[in-house]
Structure 1
Amino acid sequence: MISAQTIRTSIEELSAITKVELCVMDLGGETVASTSERDFLDVSIVINFANSPVDSQVIGDVHLFKILDEGDPAYVLLAKGDSEHAYMVGKIGVSQLQNLVVAYKERFDRNNFFQNLLLDNMLLIDVYNRARKLKIEVSVPRVIILVETKNVQDNTAQELLSSMYGQHSGDYVTAVDENSVILIKNLGRGQNYEDVHKIATTIVDMMNTEAMLNVRVSYGTIVEEIKDLSKSFKEAKMALEVGRIFYAEKRVNAYNTLGIGRLIYQLPESLCKIFIDEIFGDKEVPDDLDEETLNTINKFFENNLNVSETSRQLFVHRNTLVYRIEKLEKSSGLDVRNFDDALTFKIALMVISYMKYLEGRQ
């Protein structure tokens, strides 16, 4: 339903231009918005008019009009003035508000359609029938971009995203929970995942600069049919969660680049425990590495196990780096200078992070 603030803004602008006092009331006689602090008519008169068969009426110097929604009364507009000018302004107000009712209803219907589509609450035949009725193209490349807003209570993120990607371009913005906003992005035939990543990065930057929001963004695979949007949505949700567990430093995560993180995410907890026990046995499990050691190992991996380059980037002597690596080898039994051990250690760290995540959910 159209908001009271929107109605108020509309009639205030019209009243300021025409100098005619306007008031919008619901069918029960409650004032929705008014440009005057004084009552126009007794509430009982307005209710009787709302229930009458006529669409307009004049009582004294007040013109009454019905605002219709698909032929049924939705509101009553009152225009105060005993001249044809007030009558004409009232008719203009009715036309304007009825167009707003239609526009907001269409927006609500589309929003409801996409929410049910993403949550798999629709039959396949209903998807195409409703899309046709709402004039939504069904065979267009689209992708779901998910923006995690950290439980922001207001609609700042959704409003900003809507201003960036409006419906005129075929894009739609909606939400299915209070923690995230969903952009259903319409893509051109030549656009690919590189373009989607640029869009996602732009969203992160805009949210930070315009609304001071530190958001995380993820996206699923590009789909060609509207019925497959729920698949892209599920993939975006997984990418967001996997990114939170394994790639916390990244603000944008794509489902098609999750790599081994996606594989570990789908493992049962029992198998993860068996793997950790098998690798470390009675040795110390590296689940509480100090920040210095962790940074050293991560930088060592980034430089493809190159000791010289890693020590240069960390501004430490080569022997200091070797000492740290050997210290880790004594505690874990793995020499990360060896490719197989390095790979095992890297996977073990990710599995431990996943197990911590599972414990935190319980």
Structure 2
Amino acid sequence: MISNQIIQNTIDGLKTITRIDISVMDAEGKVLATTEEDKLDEYNDAVPDFVVSQADSQLVQGYHFFKVLDEHTIEYVVSAKGESEDVYKIGKIASFQIQNLLVAYKERFDKDNFVKNLLLDNLLLVDIYNRSKKLHIETDARRVAIIVETKAEKDVNALEVVRGIFPTKTKDFITAVDEHNIILVKELKAGDVLEDIEKIAENIVDTLNAEAMSSVYVGVGTTISDIKDVSRSYKEAKMALEVGKIFYEERHIMAYANLGIGRLIYQLPIPLCKMFISEIFQGKSPDDFDEETLVTINKFFENSLNVSETSRQLYIHRNTLVYRLDKLQKNTGLDLRVFEDSITFKIALMVVKYMKYMSHSEY
């Protein structure tokens, strides 16, 4: 439904142009918006009588009345003050404008509901195509689902901020499923690739940060070419957000295509993870390692197992790094300089991270 403020802004603009007082009422005669101070209270009885009449317009005590319909049901009554032919024309223009607003808002509401049900898999396949046709939505366009997660609830209207980034006449869909998550179903151009989608995500993050929004995270699904697959891209974007928080917490934009092995670990059952860690570390845990050892391990992985570069970045002698690696091998049985052992150790560290995250999520 159109907000009263939108209607008020519309008739204020019309009065500025025409100098004619205009009011909008519901079918019972309650004034919703008006440019008159007395708000036509004395004519409330006249509105219900006009509503039940067969006339589309009527002149009552110095006012032209007009009906605004919503699928054969009278939604609003518009009045224009004056009896002249010019006032009648202004009233017709005002009612036509309100009618167009009603159609536009209803279409937006219908599309919003359709997209939400599409994302949540609440539609049968035949319904998806039938409703797409009815709402004039292309079924075979290239699209991608993007989720924007914010921590702010009432400080900033993040949904409107995101809508403001994209032109209103585009074929993109922007909706919200809760207080924190905004979903953008973006229609892509023929040559758009992942890098182009990530630039869109960066634009969203930068804009929301500029609006004093903190802790904004964006998850990106994979590109789909059929509208029935939008829900799949949405689920992938959700997983990208979750997996990104666990393994790549320093990143604010995470694409499903870049999750790598983290996506596999995320789907492992916790009992299996515990058994794996117990076997690898023989009852110990990476939490038992001191800070120096953990820093050394992470830096070694960052430099692709390069001893010289790692020692340089740690500002230590090469032999000192070798000593630390030898000590780690003695404690765990894994030599990080051996490719197979380094993979096992890296996976083990990620599994421990995943277990910690799931443990905290339960509370």
Query: Are the aligned partners of 1:144 and 1:185 in contact in 2 as well (CA < 8 Å)?
Result: yes
Equivalent pair of 2:156/2:211 in contact (CA under 8 Å): no
Conserved? CA contact 1:246–1:261, under 8 Å: yes
**How many angstroms apart in 2 are the aligned matches of 1:288 and 1:75?**
71
CA RMSD of aligned residues (A): 2.3
Moved more, 301-310 or 194-203: 194-203
CA shift for structure 1 position 82 = 3.7
1:92-111 → structure 2 map (5 Å cutoff): 92-111=93-112
1:142 maps to amino acid: R
SS of the aligned residue for 1:78 comes to strand
Quick one: distance in 2 between partners of 1:49 and 1:361?
60
Kindly tell me the number of residue pairs found equivalent between the two proteins.
361
Post-superposition offset of 1:119: 0.8
Q: How do 1:32-71 residues align onto structure 2 when only pairs under 5 Å count?
A: 32-42=32-42, 43-71=44-72
CA distance in 2, matches of 1:282, 1:223: 45
SS of structure 2 residue aligned to 1:287: helix
> What's 1:121 paired with?
122
The residue identity in structure 1 corresponding to 2:360 is G
The CA deviation at 1:98 is: 0.4
Mark the CA change 1:331 to 1:35 in structure 2 (over 3 Å): closer, same or farther.
farther
Contact 2:65 2:80 in 1 (8 A): yes
Q: Look up the SS of the partner of 1:96 in the other structure.
A: helix
Give the partner amino acid of 2:165: M
User: Aligned equivalents of 1:77 and 1:329: distance in 2?
Assistant: 83
Deviations 1:127-157 (A, max 9, x none): 1111111111111111111111225336732
C-alpha contact 2:31 2:40 (8 A) present in aligned 1: no
Instruction: Return the alpha-carbon distance in structure 2 between the equivalents of residues 154 and 338 of structure 1.
Output: 52
Change (3 A) 1:201 1:291: farther
- AA of the residue aligned to 1:36: E
CA distance in structure 1 between the partners assigned to 2:82 and 2:290 by the alignment: 78
Deviation per CA, 1:267-298: give whole Å up to 9, x if none. 11110110111112233x12376665544322
Matches within 5 A, 1:183-222: 183-210=184-211, 212-222=213-223
Corresponding position of 2:287: 287
Partner of residue 344, structure 2: 344
Moved more, 79-88 or 348-357: 79-88
Secondary structure, counterpart of 2:287 in structure 1: coil
CA distance in 1, matches of 2:26, 2:296: 67
Identity %: 56
CA contact (8 A) 2:152 2:214 kept: no
Q: 1:7: which partner in 2?
A: 7
Amino acid at match of 1:86: V
Aligned position for 1:355: 355
Deviation of 1:93 (Å) = 0.7
Q: Which residue of 2 aligns with 1:271?
A: 272
Change in 2 beyond 3 A, CA 1:142/1:159: same
Query: 1:336–1:342: 8 Å Cα contact kept in structure 2?
Result: yes
Deviation for aligned residue 1:232: 0.9
Q: CA deviation at 1:328?
A: 5.0
SS of the counterpart of 2:240?
helix
Over 3 Å counting, the alpha-carbon distance change for 1:225 and 1:189 in structure 2 is same
User: Residues 47 and 332 of structure 1: is their aligned pair in 2 closer, same or farther, counting only changes over 3 Å?
Assistant: farther
How far is 1:88 from its partner? 2.1
Instruction: Provide the C-alpha distance between the structure 2 equivalents of 1:152 and 1:346, rounded to a whole number of angstroms.
Output: 37
Q: How does 1:196-275 map to 2 (within 5 A)?
A: 196-210=197-211, 212-275=213-276
Shift in alpha-carbon separation, 1:46–1:302, aligned structure 2, 3 A: same
Q: What SS does structure 1 have at the residue aligned with 2:66? A: strand
Unaligned 5+ residue runs, structure 2? none
Q: Is the 8 A contact 1:246 1:350 kept in 2?
A: yes
Q: Write the deviation string for residues 188-237 of structure 1: whole angstroms up to 9, x where unpaired.
A: 22222222222222222222234544311111111111111111111111
Kindly tell me: are residues 115 and 93 of structure 1, through their superposed partners in 2, closer, same or farther at Cα, counting changes over 3 Å? same
Q: Quote the residue 1:144 is aligned against.
A: 145
Q: CA separation in 1, counterparts of 2:21 and 2:331?
A: 81
Displacement of 1:45: 2.3
Deviates more, 1:47-56 or 1:182-191: 47-56
Amino acid at match of 1:345: F
TM-score, structure 1 length as denominator? 0.91
AA matched with 2:177: V
Q: Distance in 2 between matches of 1:167 and 1:329?
A: 60
Distance 1:192 1:103 in 2: 32
> What is the CA distance between 1:29 and its match in structure 2?
2.8
Task: Within 5 Å, give how 1:300-315 maps onto structure 2.
Answer: 300-315=300-315
Q: Is the 8 A contact 2:31 2:39 kept in 1?
A: no
Question: Aligned equivalents of 1:76 and 1:155: distance in 2?
Answer: 35
Q: Distance in 2 between matches of 1:288 and 1:10?
A: 67
Output the CA distance in 2 between the equivalents of 1:177 and 1:330.
51
- In structure 2, do the counterparts of structure 1 residues 294 and 26 end up closer, same or farther at CA, with 3 Å as the change threshold? farther
What code does the residue aligned with 1:204 have? V
The answer to whether the 8 A contact 2:150-2:213 is kept is no
